[in-house]
Structure 1
Amino acid sequence: MKQAILLSTLLLMTACSKPKTALKAEITAPISYEFLVGTYTDSLHHGINHLYFSPDENLMTVQTIAAGIANPSFVIASKDGKKVFSLEEEAGIKGGRVLSFTRNPETNELNLIDQDDSEGDHPCHISLSPEEDFLILGNYSGGSLTVFKVDSLGQVDFVQKIQHSGKSINPDRQEGPHVHSTTFDPEGKRVLVADLGTDKIYVYDFNAQNNEPLRLAGEYPMTPGDGPRHLAFSADGTEVLVVEEMSAVLDVFGYEKGVLTPKQRLSLLDEGFKGTVGAAEIRVSPDGKHVYVSNRGEANTISVFGKKPDGSYTRVQNIPSGGLMPRNFNLTGDRKYLLAAHQASHDIVIFERDSISGILSLTPWKANVHKPVYLHRLPN
């Protein structure tokens, strides 16, 4: 009996001492997204903001990371997120300013390293060349575009200015040229410039080796009174989609080596809509199947367009933007969400996006921000 008890005890001790297979708990970081936010300012406390959004944490925060800048209405970053370029949308003897910063991705701290005059009043748009060695500013009130060389440290030096001339049919908005955006084509060999004041898209050849990198290659008139504002390329680069601010229209053009060919014209407005409009921003989903366009004025909508099998576009949704004056919006890197910035209601709201249909659904996430007007997605 004693032997049986001893054997049982030994078996129990052996079982207890046998190493157990460790269960490895995989610790995954919460899904999160980061954006730089450009704003209009009314105080030295306002400026460039950083937005953090994590649906996993049910968290959305905004903090000012560069205060005391006058109207940094457009802000972009280098591909690695370590250099940031912005502007001061101001007027003066030499226009506004272009600003360059270094950014610490860990703390989001911005340090100003250089600035230069824009050489044109109210710069409102910046484009960065594919090699990140040139910046092009669109000066709205100045009716011009200016080119800056960017060195390896992020310092900027003026190299070229191009002054537009002319006008269009609206005496209040189109009394002279108003350059609203400058966009490199997918090859990086050309820059397309939307001029609201002259109702034209200008195509410039771009050669980084020349002392003056831009040379006019063509001009394409829009419908009089359209007021072209921003544009985007289709996913395959064979189309240019232009937002017409004053007519609230999406114009689709075929594109080949700098040549634009009209293809389709679509309204952002529901049938019977009466009121003021102000079409603003455009984004194309990476798969090329959906196009998103914002409209301000009394509309305050985001329009969703889908691409049909025959290659044409059709509007699949017109949804309230969730605030007042949706000047700008952007998609998260995985395209699961769309963030819309509202200048007049001082907020940024978040939509969930259906990847198949492209349809948007407003979520409860919302952040209060003073006059947000641009959202630049940072790398994760």
Structure 2
Amino acid sequence: MNTIIHMPGFWAIIFILTATALIFLLFPLFRSGSRKGKTLFLSVFIPLWLIAVPLLYWQWGAALRLQDTVALSKISQRLESTTKAANVSKEKILETFTLLEKEIDFSALALAQLGSIYNQLGLYDKAIEVYAKAIILDNDPEYRTQWIYAYSLKNQGKLPSDVRMEAEKLVQLSAKKEVINLLAIDDYFQGRFEQAAKGWELLLATDEELADDRRIMMQNALTKARKQGNLQEPSQNEISFNVHVSLAPALASAVGPEDMVFVFIKASEGHQPPLAVVKKKAKELPFNVDLGDEQSMMGGQPLKPGLSVKVIAKISKSGNPLDTQGELRGISPALVIKSGLHSVELIIDERAA
């Protein structure tokens, strides 16, 4: 088995080497009490360290990229030789690529590529297996997405409960559109037509990069979900916000699990009450919330096209939304309300003065 140490290991090794060097080099100097020696050592060591670490990091990254290139080349060569051979059985292909796995098991990128090939061949169990190996090497959201996709293919759209939980976590962390679609497909085949419709409505309203053919397929799926669930098509004048709220890691230590998170929409100008509010506990972060007229303040102004608003998330330890002392918050840029669905990404990343 080929092995390499990935980037997290790089920093661990740098720390160990630095600590070892300091112990061996500084200990004799401090015992001798030579101030001149200490000053000379620090004036030489620190600049060298600042130069050496970036160089080592660059070299390390280049080595990893080279190993990925070598592994991908092996897949390409094996795939080419397999396709050239006449009348090759699926069993023989499986045997060939299973042996190849052992040659490339140091590269998450290559394992993910092999998983894609397994998916194309209909070998979904093998795809799931190699994607899992890739995730162990590199917990990249893209590899996790492909792992979920392999399960969806294997089960004709349905996701096992544990895989669905992982998909929901991934959406909360990164709001990946591919995973939202896989969850909507699972909802449809599990008979949860309203949830499926909401997922596809969100993607159709917010994914500006959606290709035309994919948009048509998704619109057809949405139509079927509405028909199966006897759902009414939403009014063109309906206004809603889907807000993904997360907390900046640097502020995590300042937040308790029982602190309250208020997410609200308010006019960009003036000091009017919020137009719509939702509250959740901090332990639920990151999360998605929907805001619309159903979440409006009693007697408050409704959401209407043309109004300039900001979406705000704030954390209150007291549970009082009016308490501003030392609050943590995230604020969106001003945006003009239009009919339909608005998708907003909010990061709580600042402390009020």
| Length-normalised TM-score, structure 2 | 0.25
Structure with the bigger percentage of helix:
2
Structure with the greater alpha carbon radius of gyration? 2
| Length-normalised TM-score, structure 1 | 0.24
